[in-house]
């Protein structure tokens, strides 16, 4: 596509929503790889389904709303996006049916439909249905007194067309069966009814399908289909018109499952008349219908993975290493930090030192105050339990709980209420801004002075995801940096205007401007013939200003490498604009989550800067969130970040994809033996 060349324009950006779908294609490609263990290949398929659910619930719903506001001019884009989504889902089911499930069956792991079950299995399923399923099902026959029921977001349902007359002599032909979420979606058959050496499973949808007639005695089940509707699930709360954000969000949670429908899934064999009826009920166009060749919710196949006994079909267990040389076990972490900063690279290194840091603070009588931000921590959290214990012990505990962390709102509200119940000071950040920065600050009395210790992170305070996501944690007793962190907490609580921090960069105040300033420095260096280099590793790149800054630096002659896991709207390879910019994406065993930004604009270390950050290069992160970035000033630690978080990923030939100018990604082809950054780091840390 020819670039736009008007004032202030660099080139036509790539479509963000299609970039998100492209990322999911890269995830799906993992399920095709023969070197990935079979159960992990199935897990990648479920991950794509989960990602697509969120895409429709949030991104696609917003896109529809924006398209409606713009009018028919956006119809072409909407049709292209819909076609792309349909194609991706079709690819997913082909891979599921034709490769992964047959391969699992060859390993003795089988999902049996009614026709494939033997007499003993059918008898067992019939008893299971009668005792465990049927008492929880309430079929609803539709008539003027029984309107179409309210169907929850992403719930499993059946639509049934019945023959004959009902108990009152009427010809009501359509019934709806809603399936409660409490029922397991995957049921393992007892070994006694399976072939020796076989692990047999049945899907709940298959169990109900085989016994639909039992729900309608005296009627003929003429035809039927599973169906599932996806709804707009963004919580709409007018923050300028509420007096208590927590109460408003809790109220909104009760209606989230019944937002505007955006997608309807049915099985491929669903009769046209039933799918048309459902589309009409949900006020959806034909393009919103997705006919799938299999279960309408592949996410629930995670239950099969969890129940299967076959370790050899999973990734080998990886146990993150405790950094013994840098943080000896049994030694006070406070004492160690007084000698210098400690950097933790998760999941290759354990998250447990972070937990131990907080645990030591809770039990240390000299610790007076603990402050922490919470974005995603989960329904069970040792860190939150420790904060509650600290408050019970009489320490000053302040927690900034982000109530609007999408799909974690309820868990965070519950934690906020538990913390308040024991006397902790809980604040909810700033109206209109999400608090996304990750900060933990401990204030300790040491002799006649107070000393502060901090932990800053690119990822969440969640020990479970810390085993699955790559992130950097940074423990420090550096007083200027800790003082800056304290100032952030002070501002979030008091809403008072503060002097800009000396070292910590915060959004929405200075982070975006500082990144642009560094890009300008790099561009000036390139024009002067000095070394000029930018390397950015982040999860998404969509901010127009930062894209313009990168393009300007590239046009000036700077060499730029971007490692962007997900959506990237910058179009590389456009002659005269972005031909010096390379964009790659890494999709491997772990979810790449680390945000690292490196600039060089001269010959020596005085003209170099490296930042770690909680923020992606997106407008929402730069202007609508509380974010933090901090410089790594210690030369040894800075080199370590470069050696572990940047260099391996720029040389990956196993799990890397290169973005083309047209928006498509090509896998990086290895000239020799393939090199995996993640596997190299696992070997380096020896977990």
pLDDT tens for each residue of 395-417? 999 999 887 666 667 788 888 89
337 vs 413: which has the higher pLDDT: 337
Question: Rounded mean pLDDT of 303-325?
Answer: 95
559 pLDDT above the threshold of 80: yes
Alpha-carbon span 114 to 640, nearest angstrom: 57
Question: Rounded mean pLDDT of 127-144?
Answer: 93
Find the angle CA(133)-CA(134)-CA(137) to the nearest 5 degrees. 95
pLDDT band at 244 (very low <50, low <70, confident <90, very high): low
95 vs 71: which has the higher pLDDT: 95
User: Residue 372: helix, strand or coil by DSSP?
Assistant: strand
Question: Rounded mean pLDDT of 495-500?
Answer: 80
The residue among 102, 115, 219, 118 whose CA lies nearest residue 171 is 219
Binding site annotation covers 312?
Answer: no
478 vs 259: which has the higher pLDDT: 478
Burial class of residue 451, CB neighbours in 10 A (0-12, 13-18, 19+): middle
User: Residue 348: helix, strand or coil by DSSP?
Assistant: coil
Binding site annotation covers 118?
Answer: no
Q: How far is CA 539 from CA 39, 466, 518, 643, in A?
A: 26, 16, 20, 19
The pTM of the full predicted model, rounded to 2 decimals, is 0.92
pLDDT tens for each residue of 669-681? 877 789 999 999 9
pLDDT tens for each residue of 347-370? 999 999 999 999 999 999 999 999
pLDDT band at 66 (very low <50, low <70, confident <90, very high): low
Q: Could you tell me whether strands 656-659 and 438-446 are parallel, antiparallel, or unpaired per DSSP bridges?
A: unpaired
Mean pLDDT computed over every residue of the chain: 91
Alpha-carbon span 53 to 195, nearest angstrom: 36
User: Residue 55: helix, strand or coil by DSSP?
Assistant: helix
Alpha-carbon span 272 to 4, nearest angstrom: 45
Q: What are phi and psi of 50, to 5 degrees?
A: -65, -45
Question: Rounded mean pLDDT of 375-399?
Answer: 94
Q: What are phi and psi of 409, to 5 degrees?
A: -60, -45
Cross-strand bridge partners of residue 608: 600
Asked if 490 is an active-site residue, the reply is no
Q: What are phi and psi of 640, to 5 degrees?
A: -65, -40
Query: Of these residues, 211, 345, 346, 436, which one is catalytic?
Result: 436
SS3 sequence of 307-325: HCCCHHHCCCCCCCECCCC
User: Residue 592: helix, strand or coil by DSSP?
Assistant: strand
Alpha-carbon span 252 to 245, nearest angstrom: 10
pLDDT tens for each residue of 618-676? 999 999 999 999 999 999 999 999 999 999 999 999 999 999 999 999 999 877 789 99
Binding site annotation covers 621?
Answer: no
Copy the structure tokens of residue 225.
Answer: 């289909």
User: Residue 130: helix, strand or coil by DSSP?
Assistant: helix
Cross-strand bridge partners of residue 370: 397, 442
pLDDT of residue 671: 75
User: Residue 426: helix, strand or coil by DSSP?
Assistant: strand
Copy the structure tokens of residue 43.
Answer: 């897990």
User: Is 569 within 8 Å of 541 (Cβ atoms)?
Assistant: yes
Binding site annotation covers 376?
Answer: yes
pLDDT tens for each residue of 105-131? 999 999 999 999 999 999 999 999 999
Binding site annotation covers 624?
Answer: no
pLDDT band at 378 (very low <50, low <70, confident <90, very high): confident
Longest CA span, the chain = 90
Binding site annotation covers 445?
Answer: no
């Amino acid at each position: 596509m020819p670039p736009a060349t008007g004032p202030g324009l660099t080139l036509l950006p790539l479509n963000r929503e299609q970039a998100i779908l492209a990322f999911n294609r890269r995830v799906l490609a993992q399920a095709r790889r023969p070197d990935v263990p079979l159960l992990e290949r199935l897990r990648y398929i479920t991950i794509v389904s989960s990602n697509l659910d969120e895409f429709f619930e949030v991104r696609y719903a917003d896109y529809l709303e924006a398209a409606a506001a713009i009018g028919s001019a956006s119809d072409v884009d909407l049709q292209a996006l819909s076609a792309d989504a349909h194609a991706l889902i079709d690819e997913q089911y082909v891979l599921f049916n034709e490769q992964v499930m047959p391969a699992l069956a060859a390993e003795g792991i089988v999902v049996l439909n009614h026709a494939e079950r033997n007499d003993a299995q059918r008898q067992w399923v019939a008893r299971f249905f009668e005792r465990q399923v049927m008492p929880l099902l309430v079929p609803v026959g539709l008539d003027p007194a029984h309107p179409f029921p309210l169907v929850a977001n992403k719930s499993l349902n059946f639509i049934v067309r019945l023959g004959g007359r009902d108990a009152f002599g009427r010809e009501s032909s359509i019934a709806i069966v809603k399936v409660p979420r409490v029922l397991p979606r995957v049921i393992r058959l007892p070994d006694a009814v399976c072939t020796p050496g076989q692990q047999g499973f049945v899907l709940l949808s298959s169990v109900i399908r085989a016994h639909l007639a039992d729900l309608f005695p005296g009627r003929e089940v003429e035809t039927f289909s599973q169906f599932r509707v996806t709804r707009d699930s963004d919580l709409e709360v007018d923050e300028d018109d509420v007096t208590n954000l927590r109460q408003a969000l809790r109220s909104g949670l009760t209606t989230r499952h019944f937002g505007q429908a955006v997608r309807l899934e049915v099985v491929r064999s669903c009769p046209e008349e039933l799918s048309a009826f459902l589309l009409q009920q949900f006020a959806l166009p034909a393009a919103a219908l997705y006919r799938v060749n299999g279960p309408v919710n592949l996410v629930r196949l995670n239950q099969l993975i969890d129940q299967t006994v076959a370790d050899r079909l999973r990734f080998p267990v990886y146990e993150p290493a405790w950094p013994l040389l840098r943080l000896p076990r049994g030694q006070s972490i406070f004492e160690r930090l007084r000698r210098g900063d400690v950097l933790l690279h998760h999941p290759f290194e354990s998250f447990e030192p972070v937990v131990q840091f907080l645990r030591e603070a809770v039990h240390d009588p000299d610790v007076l105050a603990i402050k922490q931000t919470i974005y995603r921590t989960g329904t069970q959290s040792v860190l939150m339990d420790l904060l509650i214990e600290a408050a019970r012990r009489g320490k000053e505990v302040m927690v900034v709980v982000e109530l609007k962390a999408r799909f974690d709102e309820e868990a965070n509200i519950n934690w906020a209420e538990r913390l308040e119940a024991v006397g902790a000071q809980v604040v909810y950040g700033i109206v209109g801004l999400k608090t996304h920065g990750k900060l933990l600050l401990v204030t300790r009395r040491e002799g006649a002075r107070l000393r502060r210790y901090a932990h800053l992170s690119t990822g969440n305070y969640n020990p479970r995801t810390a085993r699955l996501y790559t992130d950097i944690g940074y423990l420090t007793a550096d007083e200027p940096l800790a003082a800056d962190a304290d100032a952030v907490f002070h501002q979030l609580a008091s809403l008072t205007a503060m002097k800009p921090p000396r070292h910590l960069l915060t959004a929405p105040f200075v982070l975006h401007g500082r990144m642009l300033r560094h890009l300008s420095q790099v561009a000036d260096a390139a024009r002067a013939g000095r070394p000029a280099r930018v390397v950015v590793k982040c999860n998404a790149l969509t901010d127009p200003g930062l894209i313009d800054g990168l393009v300007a630096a590239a046009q000036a002659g700077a060499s730029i490498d971007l490692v962007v896991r997900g959506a990237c709207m910058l179009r590389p390879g456009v002659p005269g604009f972005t031909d010096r910019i390379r964009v790659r994406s890494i999709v491997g065993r772990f979810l790449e989550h680390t945000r690292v930004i490196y600039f060089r604009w001269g010959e020596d270390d005085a003209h170099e800067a490296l930042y770690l950050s909680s923020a992606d290069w997106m407008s929402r992160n730069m202007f609508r969130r509380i974010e933090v970035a901090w410089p790594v000033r210690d030369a040894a630690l800075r080199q370590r970040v470069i050696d572990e978080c940047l260099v391996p990923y720029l040389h990956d030939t196993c799990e890397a994809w290169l973005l083309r100018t047209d928006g498509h990604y090509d896998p990086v082809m290895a000239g020799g033996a393939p090199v995996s950054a993640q596997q190299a780091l696992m070997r380096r840390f020896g977990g």
